[in-house]
Amino acid sequence: MYSEKVMDHFSNPRNVGEIENADGVGLVGNAKCGDIMKMYLKVEDGVIVDVKFKTFGCGAAIATSSMATEMVKGKTLKEALQLTNKAVAEALDGLPPVKMHCSLLAEEAIHAAVEDYMKNHPEAVI
């Protein structure tokens, strides 16, 4: 039911972990529904220089987290805010319909981390 790309990102997830003293942290989802994503950003001059994630969830949740981090690494905050769940799902060669909410969670986690950065750095302009 999962594409090869989903299985690849699930079995070898990229950017797993935490960033100490991260510039922005986003936490979305809840354990009751079975999915929690936490994203950590390191930002320099408006560019995401490092990103890490931790996810409690199914195969699709882990794969979308991994793909989302790859898609925003090296990008500007503005570009990161433009990341959509559709783009994440497409980059994974699609997700089963019942798993699309996982990609939405990945989008929300990235956006939440950028927003957290903005809150911590009110002077930043994007």
Joined together, the tokens standing for residue 70 give: 């790859």
Q: How far apart are CA 98 and CA 90, in angstroms?
A: 15
103 binds other proteins (CB under 8 A): no
The binder of other proteins chosen from 9, 22, 38, 80 (CB under 8 A) = 38
DSSP state for residue 76 in the 8-state scheme: B
Residues numbered 43 to 62 that lie near other proteins (CB under 8 A) are: 53-62
The binder of other proteins chosen from 9, 22, 24, 36 (CB under 8 A) = 36
Minimum distance of other proteins from residue 61's CB (angstroms): 7
Joined together, the tokens standing for residue 101 give: 């909410």
Joined together, the tokens standing for residue 116 give: 């957290």
Q: Which residues are annotated as catalytic? A: 33, 102
Q: 69-98 mask for other proteins (x: CB under 8 A)? A: -----------------------------x
**19: exposed, middle or buried (Cβ count in 10 Å: 0-12, 13-18, 19+):** middle
Q: Which region among 28-36, 41-49, 74-82, 117-125 touches other proteins (by CB under 8 A)?
A: 28-36
Phi and psi at 15, nearest 5°, equal: 60, 40
- Determine the size of the site formed for other proteins (CB under 8 A): 29
Contact 26, 52 (CB under 8 A): no
Q: Summarize as ranges the residues that interact with other proteins (CB under 8 A).
A: 2, 7, 10-11, 13, 16-18, 27, 31-38, 53-62, 98-99
